Amino acid sequence: MDELLKWRGEFPILDRATYMISNSLGAMPRRVYNEVRAYADSWAERGVRAWEEGWWDMAVGVGDRIAPLIGAGRGEISLHQNVTLTQAVISSCFDFRGPRNKVVMVELEFPSIQYFYHEQRRLGIRVEVVPTPDHIRIDLDKLLAAIDETTLLVPISQVLFRSSSIVDARAIIERAHRVGAHVILDVFQAAGSIPVDVRSMGVDFAVGGVLKWLCGGPGVAYLYVREDLRAKLRPALTGWMAHRRPFAFETGAIDPRDDSFRYLNGTPHIPALYACQPGLDIVNKVGIGAIRDKSMRMTARLIDGARTRSWSVNTPESPAERAGTDSVERPHAYEVCRELLARDIIVDYRPKAGVRVSPHFYNREDECDFTLAQMEEILKTGAWEKHAAATTHA
Ligand SMILES: Cc1ncc(COP(=O)(O)O)c(C=O)c1O
């Protein structure tokens, strides 16, 4: 008996679809309806008083529900609209005009982060992108060698979005600290899927969002800053939420707080901060240990099923190296994905990855078999062909 299936009733979409895409957008808990209503009620009934009755503190307070999932403590997280913005806040703490001006990242880093740092070259940043041998793993030795005395920041994902490969974050942090560089660990694809412990890793910063494995919906990203750095660094991307006396409306330069509010800037995204809470509560209750155990079983089952059909998988074979997604590579993978979606089997397609299948704790193991069986049927019957005309992907 799979104990975790008792949570299925909390997620309405599971009655209507085979939902295998939690690496992209986790299923919505039905309690989100109540939270969004609570937000509307507080605005409608309390009006502007809602700020002092709770809204003002939410961009740090709600972070306490994320903290246990990444090994952080209370008050150690600030919340932002997306991960790209958290990178902007972090990088704005540093001066790239001196000799230590390099940002090292890997080719498999999430593209938005690459776009952001490349544009910062106008501020003096030198970007070194370390090539990877394939689309599955990073070249750890090459990455470690690229981190040198001129390196200021190393933004790196703990789990790669394309292949779900787990990166040796400890080795990267150790190397970076040895030469005086800072690591920004993106745990977006890790939190809620595998155990994450930012404090024990000693990482400088950790960032991520809640909309995937944490079932928290779009609009909330988290930023953890290590305790000893928190009050020392000073973001240039700042605003009145970070001021010690925001309601004094003092003019001129900011007098910044020393706690996690220091990393905030303008008015926060209150509706999203309400909507994210049911998912976080559920994932905390289910527990990462149970989620990881089941995830390893399901991803192994998907890999076995793909191998039996002689399909290749762009995901590491070893469970220790693999997080929650299997990327199944097939000819016509894009069209197969479109047909799966038409059949209410929700997966996605990414170039150089294939069809990404991401079961979560609420999935039944037979849904893994069903997804592969449907892919096989779509290929055999040529049902994918009707999507070929619409194909824009190479
Ligand atoms: C590892 C990783 N980082 C970042 C992002 C997204 O960044 P943002 O929150 O800026 O949209 C994703 C989204 O898919 C991701 O997988």
Residue-wise pLDDT tens digits, 123-166: 999 999 999 988 899 999 999 999 999 999 999 999 999 999 99
Q: Is the CB of 222 under 6 A from ligand 1?
A: no
* 8 Å CB contact between 100 and 243: no
SS3 96: coil
C-alpha to C-alpha distance for 165 and 364, rounded to whole angstroms: 23
Instruction: Kindly state the DSSP code that residue 105 receives in the 8-state scheme.
Output: E
Q: Is the CB of 22 under 6 A from ligand 1?
A: no
Nearest to 62 by CA among 87, 79, 46, 48: 79
Phi, psi angle pair for 110, to nearest 5°: -60, 130
Q: Is the CB of 83 under 6 A from ligand 1?
A: yes
pTM of the model: 0.96
AA letter at 379: L
How many whole angstroms from 7 Cα to the centroid of ligand 1? 26
Q: Is the CB of 110 under 6 A from ligand 1?
A: yes
Which of 87, 110, 158, 207 has most ligand 1 atoms within 8 Å of its beta carbon, as the pocket-test mutant? 110
Q: Is the CB of 115 under 6 A from ligand 1?
A: no
The tokens 């006396």 sit on which residue? 245
Q: Do domains 3-30+286-387 and 67-209+221-268 have the same CATH topology?
A: no
Q: Provide the pLDDT for residue 389.
A: 66
Among protein residues, the one with the nearest Cα to ligand 1's atom 16 is: 161
Q: Is the CB of 84 under 6 A from ligand 1?
A: yes
Among protein residues, the one with the nearest Cα to ligand 1's atom 7 is: 83
* 8 Å CB contact between 58 and 42: no
Phi, psi angle pair for 131, to nearest 5°: -70, 160
Q: Is the CB of 42 under 6 A from ligand 1?
A: no
pLDDT in tens, the chain (394 residues): 899 999 999 999 999 999 999 999 999 999 999 999 999 999 999 999 999 999 999 999 999 999 999 999 999 999 999 999 999 999 999 999 999 999 999 999 999 999 999 999 999 999 999 999 888 999 999 999 999 999 999 999 999 999 999 999 999 999 999 999 999 999 999 999 999 999 999 999 999 999 999 999 999 999 999 999 999 999 999 999 999 999 999 999 999 999 999 999 999 999 999 999 999 999 999 999 999 999 999 999 999 999 999 998 999 989 899 999 999 988 899 999 999 999 999 999 988 888 999 999 999 999 999 999 999 999 999 999 999 866 554 3
For the domain spanning 67-209+221-268, the CATH number is 3.40.640.10
Q: Provide the pLDDT for residue 270.
A: 98
Q: The tokens of 133 are what?
A: 């041998």
Q: Provide the pLDDT for residue 394.
A: 35
Q: Is the CB of 221 under 6 A from ligand 1?
A: yes
How many whole angstroms from 83 Cα to the centroid of ligand 1? 6
Kindly list the domain boundaries of the chain, sorted by start residue: 3-30+286-387, 67-209+221-268
Q: Provide the pLDDT for residue 59.
A: 98
Q: Provide the pLDDT for residue 393.
A: 42
Nearest to 79 by CA among 107, 96, 99, 55: 55
3-state secondary structure labels for all residues of 129-182? EECCCCCCCCCHHHHHHHCCCCEEEEEEECECCCCCEECCHHHHHHHHHHCCCE
What fold, for 3-30+286-387?
Aspartate Aminotransferase, domain 1 (3.90.1150)
The DSSP result for 187-233, as a single string, is: -TTTTTTS---HHHHT-SEEEEESSSTT---TT-EEEEE-HHHHTT-
How many whole angstroms from 383 Cα to the centroid of ligand 1? 32
- Pick the atom of ligand 1 nearest to 81's CA: 9
Which of 70, 79, 82, 83 has most ligand 1 atoms within 8 Å of its beta carbon, as the pocket-test mutant? 83
Residue 47 Rama label (left phi>0; alpha psi -120 to 50; beta): left
Instruction: Kindly state the DSSP code that residue 306 receives in the 8-state scheme.
Output: H
Q: Is the CB of 114 under 6 A from ligand 1?
A: no
Output the CA–CA distances (angstroms, integers) from residue 277 to 19, 23, 282, 372, 394, in the order listed: 21, 18, 9, 33, 39
Q: The tokens of 223 are what?
A: 């930023």
Longest alpha-carbon distance in the chain: 70
Residue-wise pLDDT tens digits, 268-326: 999 999 999 999 999 999 999 999 999 999 999 999 999 999 998 999 989 899 999 99
Q: The tokens of 271 are what?
A: 């509706």
Q: The tokens of 228 are what?
A: 């000893």
